């Protein structure tokens, strides 16, 4: 009898351990591909490109989370490779994003139709071939049904990722292509569809707001309020190319809004467009109830290192490298100025604070690919 009681106690404890768990998400700013970035990734003078070194100093931070999601604001339309105003980056950019630990991308933004119908289709195909989960932009209705919402399962959590844009720079969507637009009727239907999949949380990624404005406007706030009333508790914004404040309520069921994450990587240099933030969000599940437990940010900054006639680009954890003695003096000054600017913007945050940081342990050097950290597998679920 005592043996049976002990066995019951062990099984009960194991059951509670399985039911009480946490999941960490990380979101980042816009991934851009300007001309100088493309040229900087070129291998010698060949038509081969490697972007992995851009992320070698930030990948450990990204991989510290269970799931990483980014806004891909370029097409993969093939050559000729160009930046603004009609972006098309080499396919190997996706390899670099996977190297950096990014698990999925959202695609609905104002540049997703830069290379029109063929560019949209090829971008979707390349992401699928390389195993990069995606949502927001679709080849046709069947493709949308398959990838909208994007369902991600990890560590006992099921998340639905939804993605919409305010527009496509005036370029019309050609049938049968579909780009998710900011339309509350459409969004309400998609939210209902996501809930029918039995998800724990819905993550809403929105391309909205005004470029280069460091404060959210009334339209952003109104839409965020509408989504919160629909039960959406995580809202991540992009498009302004600068940071905007982040807000987390302290309710029984907290909600989180990050109005703009800034430029994760780009060639934009006017302050404060040369930096961004990683936003870490921890979800908890206790006795089957999921909630947004906490959120914190980590500043990132794009360092441009001159290599002869071209630039090399590195995304740096800003606080960790602000006093690095190997940075060029002008770069060090600008990095510290960005930190001050970002703090000036994010001092208006509510409930979202800066993460602790560590000093750098190594100077800038050539890319050395090390084995990836062991991560909990992320299972991508295709909706029925």
User: Phi and psi at residue 288, in whole multiples of 5°?
Assistant: 85, -5
- Asked whether 372 and 334 are in contact (CB, 8 A), the reply is no
Token readout for 81 is 């490779």
Rounded Cα distance between 35 and 253, Å, is 44
Q: Is the pLDDT of residue 382 over 50?
A: no
Helix (H, G, I), strand (E, B) or coil at 160: strand
Q: Write down the mean pLDDT value for the chain.
A: 89
Tell me what the mean pLDDT of segment 376-382 comes to: 46
| Nearest CA among 318, 360, 330, 311 for reference residue 37 | 311
pLDDT tens track for 69-101 = 999 999 999 999 999 999 999 999 999 999 999
Band (13; pLDDT cuts 50, 70, 90): very low
Average pLDDT over residues 228-233: 97
- Region of poorest pLDDT, from 99-113, 279-293, 304-318, 327-341: 304-318
What pLDDT, on a 0 to 100 scale, did the predictor assign at position 358?
A: 58
In a 13 Å sphere around the CA of 290, the CA atoms on its Cβ side amount to 20
- pLDDT value of residue 184: 98
β-bridge pairing 104-106 and 263-265:
unpaired
> Of all residues in the chain, what percent carry a pLDDT higher than 90?
80
Kindly report, residue by residue over 201-224, the tens digit of the pLDDT.
Answer: 999 999 999 999 999 999 999 999
Per-residue pLDDT tens digits for 235-278: 999 999 999 999 999 888 899 999 999 999 999 999 999 999 99
Where are the extended beta strands (E) located within the chain?
21-31, 67-72, 104-106, 134-135, 137-138, 150-154, 157-165, 178-179, 201-207, 234-238, 243-248, 256-261, 263-265, 275-286, 289-307, 310-317, 353-354, 379-381
Question: Does the model's pTM come out above 0.95?
Answer: no
What is the token pair recorded at 46? 């060949």
- Average pLDDT in the 349-368 region? 69
**In whole angstroms, what is the distance from residue 137 CA to residue 108 CA?**
6
Across residues 104-111, what is the average pLDDT? Answer: 98
3 state SS of 63? helix
pLDDT for the residue numbered 377: 43
Whether residue 205 contacts residue 234, with contact meaning beta carbons closer than 8 Å, is answered with no
Query: Which of 19-23, 73-77, 106-110, 366-370 has the weakest average pLDDT?
Result: 366-370
d(CA 360, CA 312): 19
């Amino acid at each position: 009898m005592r043996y049976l009681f002990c066995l019951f106690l062990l099984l009960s404890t194991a059951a509670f351990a399985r039911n009480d768990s946490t999941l960490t998400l990380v979101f980042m700013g816009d991934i851009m591909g300007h001309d100088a970035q493309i040229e900087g990734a070129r291998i010698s003078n060949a038509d081969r490109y490697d972007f992995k070194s851009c992320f070698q100093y930030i990948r450990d931070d990204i991989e510290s989370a269970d799931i990483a999601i980014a806004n891909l604001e370029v097409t993969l339309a093939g050559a000729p490779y160009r930046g603004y105003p009609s972006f098309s980056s080499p396919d190997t950019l996706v390899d670099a994003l996977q190297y950096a630990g990014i698990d999925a991308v959202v695609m609905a933004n104002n540049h997703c139709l830069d290379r029109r119908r063929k560019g949209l289709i090829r971008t979707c195909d390349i992401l699928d071939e390389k195993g990069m989960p995606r949502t927001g932009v679709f080849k046709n209705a069947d493709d949308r049904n398959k990838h909208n919402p994007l369902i991600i399962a990890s560590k006992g959590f099921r998340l639905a990722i939804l993605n919409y844009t305010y527009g496509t720079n005036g370029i019309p969507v050609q049938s049968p292509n579909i780009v998710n637009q900011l339309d509350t009727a459409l969004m309400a239907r998609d939210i209902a569809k996501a809930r029918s999949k039995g998800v724990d949380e819905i993550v809403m990624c929105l391309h909205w707001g005004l470029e280069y404005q460091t404060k959210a406007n009334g339209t952003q706030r109104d839409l965020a309020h509408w989504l919160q009333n629909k039960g959406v508790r995580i809202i991540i914004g992009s498009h302004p190319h600068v940071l905007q404040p982040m807000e987390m309520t302290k309710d029984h069921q907290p909600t989180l809004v990050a109005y703009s994450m800034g430029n994760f990587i780009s060639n934009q240099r006017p302050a404060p467009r040369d930096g961004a933030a990683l936003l870490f969000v921890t979800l908890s599940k206790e006795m089957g109830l999921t909630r947004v437990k906490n959120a914190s940010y980590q500043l990132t900054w794009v360092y441009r290192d001159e290599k002869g006639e071209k630039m090399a680009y590195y995304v740096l954890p800003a606080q960790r490298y602000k006093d690095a003695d190997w940075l060029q003096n002008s770069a060090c000054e600008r990095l510290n100025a960005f930190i001050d600017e970002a703090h000036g913007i994010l001092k208006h945050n509510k409930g979202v604070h800066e993460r602790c940081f560590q000093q750098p342990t190594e100077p800038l050097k050539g890319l050395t690919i090390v084995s990836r950290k062991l991560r909990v597998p992320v299972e991508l679920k295709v909706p029925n």
